[in-house]
Structure 1
Amino acid sequence: MGRRSRYDDDEVTGTPTQATVKWFNASKGFGFVKTEQSGEDAFLHVSVLERAGLSALPENSVISCTVRPGNKGMQVDSVISVIEMGQPSAGGGFGDRDRGGFGDRDRGGFGDRGGFGGDRGGFGGGRGGFGGGRPKPEIIGDAEGTVKFFNTEKGFGFVTPDDGSRDIFVHIRAVERSGLAGLNEGQRVKLSISQGQKGPQAERIELA
């Protein structure tokens, strides 16, 4: 039996995708992203960001995440990494607006009463807002290993490193950045890796 990755079924329960933040209302604690694979909007709750060590995301931020169907539509299940950080609006808010059907309604929406969102009355506890953005991922080292699996349709896979350490998460974005169309099980690769929210992840990939 091989080692289980933290990205296995007990961690990644939704469908991996890349998504762009349409808006995020800091005071209400929720917002929406547009998924790359299906083009659908997905609900993003602040609790999902907090599990990833974030307190908010500006509009047009690009994230790697997992999504799944909820009672009222698609919702973000987890944020794996921030690929590109958007710029806060000139007014200093994060999508602080009431978009049709998802605002402060008594029924049938994602707002403060009933449905998603909850009546939070604040945002992020003592985190104090967004904190100015994140730098690009820092390369923490290189590794050689063997492709454990890679699913092009789902857009992710894993490499088992030769040194016996934790499996390395590989997103389709990293594969494309490296000029590759995909990876095959059993293929030998060399990786430049960074530390993601849930473990090591590939930034650059070369065929060994």
Structure 2
Amino acid sequence: MFSSNHHRSATGPPAAGTPDSAMHAAPTTAPGWTRRGLGRLAAGALFAVAVPAGLSACDLFGADPEPTPEPDPLAGLLADTIALADQYDAAIAAFPELSATVLTVAATHRAHARELARVTDIPLPDPSGSATAAAPGPSTTTQAAPSPPVDLAATRSALRTSEEQAGTAAAAACRTAPADRAAMLGSITAARACHLELLR
């Protein structure tokens, strides 16, 4: 009996006044971690789940815009070729007697413009609109816009000047062009040299 009563008293309810902290062990955290640190870790894990795979945090706020592509190196030559063909057309309209000499030259420049438009993927302007405004790129010559023809001699002189500048520009483009464009530009350069002979 004594041993049984002694066993019950040893395992009976705790004495009055015993604090709750003695009854329930305080929760513990992993060594080296604080509750605040664990909270931050949990928040980061939730963010990682919310962001789709392959999407960075910067993408959530918008990526930098794509850079504007550089104009084709032959865009300026195309614009000048169209302008030169227009100059020939204006000369022929003012002095029909020039047709026998320069009509085929003007047509050749139009053909060159079509080929340049093809390789640069730049659309040719609408024939009813402004020819030079449609082809982007800086001019390859320093020639100002031609003045309206005054007389036949002045018109031929202006055409020679423009043709000479155009030939120089084509030769410069040919020297720096890749192989798939060099042959075309060489042909244009040779044609413009022949045009000069017709205008002498």
TM range (shorter): under 0.3
Larger Rg: 2
Q: With structure 1 as the length reference, what TM-score do the two structures score?
A: 0.20
Structure with higher RCO (Cα < 8 A, 6+ apart): 2
Q: With structure 2 as the length reference, what TM-score do the two structures score?
A: 0.20
| Higher share of residues assigned strand | 1
